[in-house]
Amino acid sequence: MIVGILVMGIGVPLTIFFLLDLHTLGQFFAVAATTFVAWGLGDFLSSILEKPRLENRSPRMALKEDLERRRGEE
């Protein structure tokens, strides 16, 4: 988490700041806020999209069980 904060809050914004040849602190903080919020939103969405039904199972096993369940429904 700390590494993510340092990279997305400082490292990436500094890189973008210098590559885009920006000049003011306001521009730097705008880039920093944007990258930090994008990282946070991506992390939040990934936690929502986790598939608990795949826990402790391989994708192959999950597909096999789903196919067997669907055959039983027919």
The pLDDT tens digits for 23-73 are: 999 999 999 889 888 888 888 877 777 766 656 667 787 778 888 888 887
∠ CA 2-6-24, nearest 5°, is 150
Tokens matching residue 42: 């991506």
* Contact yes or no for 62/55 (Cβ under 8 A): no
Give residue 22's identity as a one-letter amino acid code. L
Does residue 74 surpass a pLDDT of 80?
no
> At residue 21, what are phi and psi to the nearest 5 degrees?
55, 50
